[in-house]
Amino acid sequence: MSVVAALIVKLGQLVSYLLSIYTWVVIINAFLSWIRPDPYNPIVRFISRLVDPVTYRISNLIPTRVGMVDLAPLILIVVVQLVQAYLLPVLINLLLSIT
């Protein structure tokens, strides 16, 4: 395996790892929305800054409110998991076939 191919594989693994972390951040944000923590807490603000813009865009594209429940985080998790499971390996294989 060439150095470029190894770099592509490692970069793909890094992106997969970051997508896994982002999935957990979305889950944590959903749990935080249930308990209403202090909005001035720096950790809560950081998590909200990572997740809220994306869920807001999802809510603008499709109606995600079912009663009192917002399904935008669930939709975001499904999209991230689909990208991680299907799109990322295809991109890695495509890049490996080019090199």
In sequence order, which residues have a C-beta less than 8 Å from that of residue 79 and are 6 or more positions away?
Answer: none
pLDDT band at 1 (very low <50, low <70, confident <90, very high): low
In sequence order, which residues have a C-beta less than 8 Å from that of residue 15 and are 6 or more positions away?
Answer: 88
Q: What is the pLDDT of residues 7-36, one digit of tens each?
A: 999 999 999 999 999 999 999 999 998 898
User: What's at 8, amino acid-wise?
Assistant: I
Task: Collapse the DSSP code of 73 into the 3-class scheme (helix H, G, I; strand E, B; otherwise coil) and give the result.
Answer: helix
pLDDT reading at 96 higher than 90: no
Q: What is the pLDDT of residues 35-68, one digit of tens each?
A: 989 989 999 999 999 999 999 999 999 999 898 8
Q: How many domains does the chain contain in total?
A: 1
Of 40, 71, 76, whose CA–CA distance to 48 is shortest? 40
Domain of 46 in residue numbering reads as 3-98
| DSSP label at residue 40 | T
